[in-house]
Amino acid sequence: MKSTKTSLLTLLGLLLLSCSTPQKEEAPSLKKAFQDKFLIGTALNVGHNKGTDSLGIDIIKHHFNAIVAENCMKSMHIQPVEGVFFFDEADHFVQFGEDNNMHITGHTLIWHSQVSDWFFTDDKGEDVSREVMIERMKNHIQALVGRYKGRVHGWDVVNEAILDDGSWRETKFKEIVGDDYIKLAFQFAHEADPDAELYYNDYGMSNEGRRNTVIKMVKELQAEGIRIDGIGMQGHMRLDVPDINEFEKSIEAFAALGVKVMITEMDITVLPFPTDETAEVSLTAEYQEVMNPYTAGLPADVEDAFNKQYIDFFSLFLKHSDKISRVTLWGVTDIDTWRNDWPIKGRTDYSLLFDRNYQAKPVVQQLIDLTKK
C-alpha cells in the first residue's frame, strides 16, 4: 500500500515537472520551410561520408533533403587507376542518403578536371584511339551508375563542357572521341540505369554564350531521343556576380526546354576575386595578405551584402519554384567551403549558410522567412 502511494506521488511529481518545463521549440529548418517549393541540398565531404563530422551531420539531417558527393565520386577518386575502384566513401555517401530519405545526386561522370591521365593515354603515354576512349568512358560510367542503380536518383553526367563564350571546351574527351562524347556519355548512363535522371551541369550559366550552347545541346539530345532530365546551374557566386537578370533569363530558357532546372553548387564568396575573366576551376593566383582581408571576422557591411545576395537569389528561386526542382549548397559550414582554397589557397571565406561554430547564420532565418511571404 505504502509503495503504491509512493509511486503515485512520484508519478504526480514527474507530471508536474514535465508541465512546468517549457516545451523545446523545434529549431527552424530549411527543408521544412521549402518543402512545397523545391528540394534543399548540400554537398557531402569525407567527414560527412565517413561519419567523423558529427556536428556537420546533425545540420545536414535537420536542414537538407538532398545530397550530392563533393569529391568522392569523381573519376580521379573512384577510379585512380584503370580497373581499380575505390567505392568505400561513395558507398557510405549513398547509404547515408538512403538512411535519411534524401534525394541523392551522383557527381560527376565525365569532367575534364579531377580525372587521372590514364583515362586518355596508353602505357607509352600516347593518346589512345577513339575506340579505346569510348570503351573507357563506357566502363567507367557503367561501373558507377551500375553499382548504384536504383539508389542514386540522378547523375551529373557531363560537367563543364562549354566555355563562357559558348564554344565547346577543348577537353581530352572531345579531342579523342569527337563532339559526340557528350551524347555517348548520356547514352551509357541511361543504359546503366534506365530509371536514373540525367543532368548536364555547368558554371557561369548566366552567360549568354554558354546559355545558348546549352540550349542547342539539349535540343539536339532531345531530337535524337537521348534522355536528359535536367540542367544544373552551379551557382558559385560573388557579392556582385552573376547578373541576376541574366541568371533569370537562363532559368526561363532552360525550363522552356521541358527539363528540370537545378541550382547545384551554390556558395557566395565574400573575398576579392583575382580576375574577371573566368570562373574556371583550374584558375589559381598567388596568396597575398590583401586578398585575405577577413581572417578576424566579417565586417557588418560585408555581411549585409552577403545576406542580400542570398536573399535576392533565393527570392528569384522562389519566384520560379515551378521550374526549379532543387537548390543545393556547395557544402555545410565555412570550415568546409572549397572557396577557402579556390582560386587562392589558404584564405578565410564565409560563403555558406553555417558558420565555423556550426551555427546557422542569421541569413538562414531570413531565407526561411521568404517562404512565408
* Cα angle value 303/206/350 (rounded, 5°): 20
Amino acid identity, position 94: V
Active site residue: 70, 89, 160, 197, which one? 160
The yes or no reply on residue 42 touching ligand XIL (CB under 6 A) is no
Residues 254 and 200: beta-carbon distance below 8 Å:
no
How big is the CA angle at 108 (ends 75 and 208), to the nearest 5 degrees?
130
- Peptide bond between residue 343 and the one before it cis (omega within 30 degrees of 0): yes
Q: What's the closest the beta carbon of residue 138 comes to ligand XIL, in angstroms?
A: 22
* Window 319-348: residues binding ligand XIL (CB under 6 A): 338
- Among 29, 42, 159, 340, which residue sits at the site for ligand XIL (rule: CB under 6 A)? 159
Asked if residue 351 binds ligand XIL (CB under 6 A), the reply is no
Per CB under 6 A, the list member of 55, 128, 215, 281 interacting with ligand XIL is 281
Task: Kindly give the interhelix angle for 244-255 and 208-223, rounded to the nearest 10 degrees.
Answer: 10
Give residues 212-241 in contact with ligand XIL (rule: CB under 6 A). 234
**265 catalytic residue (yes or no):** yes
Total Cβ atoms within 10 A of residue 155: 30
Least separation in angstroms between residue 55's CB and ligand XIL is: 19
C-alpha closest to that of 253 among 220, 206, 221 = 206
**Residue closest to 92 by CA, chosen among 138, 151, 154, 39:** 151
Lay out the site mask for ligand XIL across 248-267 (x = CB under 6 A, - = otherwise).
Answer: -----------------x--
CB of 47 to ligand XIL, least distance (A): 12
Least distance (Å) between residue 159 CB and ligand XIL? 5
**Applying CB under 6 A, which of residues 53, 70, 197, 267 lies at the interface with ligand XIL?**
70
Nearer to ligand XIL, 86 or 129 (CB): 86
> Could you give the dihedral angle defined by the CA atoms of residues 120, 122, 127 and 132, in that order, rounded to the nearest 10 degrees?
-70
User: Is residue 71 involved in binding ligand XIL (CB under 6 A)?
Assistant: yes
Q: Which residue is nearest to ligand XIL (CB)?
A: 338
Residue where the block lists cell 556576380: 241
CA atoms within a 13 Å half-sphere pointing along the CA-CB vector of 134? 14
The nearer residue to ligand XIL, 33 or 262, going by C-beta atoms, is 262
Distance CA 156, CA 44 (A): 15
- Cite the active site residues: 160, 265
Residues that bind ligand XIL (CB under 6 A): 70-71, 159, 234, 265, 281, 338
